[in-house]
Amino acid sequence: MWNESFFSAPQLKRGPLGGAVNKLALVILGLTMGGVQADIIVAAKANVVTPDNGRADECAVAITGTREPPREAFWWRTFRGHFSERTTTSSTPTYVHVRCKGWRPMVRRLVLLAGRGWSSDSVTFVAALQPVDLGTITLRPIR
């Protein structure tokens, strides 16, 4: 009488391993995974100068998948005069945002073409692990 109810509890029945429920779960999983994009490494570098060719100070760079600059601080990396930044993205095109205190923010677009690599101008391509050289970026005053 002490353990009778414990030992006489009904056992749950299991369906066959190849049952319809399992097939449906696999279809749902396949549809979900089909929408996942792989992360791609993207890198960019540039010299940033003022109109009189002075080194730009108090600057930050962010590489994102949107043309709008990110609001969250974790996207931005500070630099002075030169940056070389690398990140992973699942977006192409990808955008490089540069902002410097007292100057107009700017954005450059990067595209990835299969078999050719990353480009900022659709003429010069670099391998995925190499940084796209954006050259010298001259800051413009805020109007």
Per residue in 24-53, pLDDT (tens digit) is 444 443 444 444 456 888 899 999 999 999
List, in order of start, the domains of the chain with CATH numbers.
40-138 (2.60.40)
Give residue 8's pLDDT. 53
Give 53's Cβ-side CA count (13 Å radius): 0
Helix, strand, or coil (residue 143): coil
CA distance 76 to 9: 60
In this predicted model, which residue has the larger pLDDT, 86 or 2? 86
Give residue 31's pLDDT. 40
**Cα–chain center distance at 4:** 60
Give residue 35's pLDDT. 44
- pLDDT of residue 20 exceeding 60, the answer is no
Q: What is the pTM of this model?
A: 0.70
Token pair of 83, please?
A: 């940056």
In this predicted model, which residue has the larger pLDDT, 112 or 99? 99
Over residues 85-101, mean pLDDT = 89
Token pair of 8, please?
A: 């006489």
- pLDDT of residue 16 exceeding 90, the answer is no
CA distance 42 to 104: 24
CA distance 88 to 114: 17
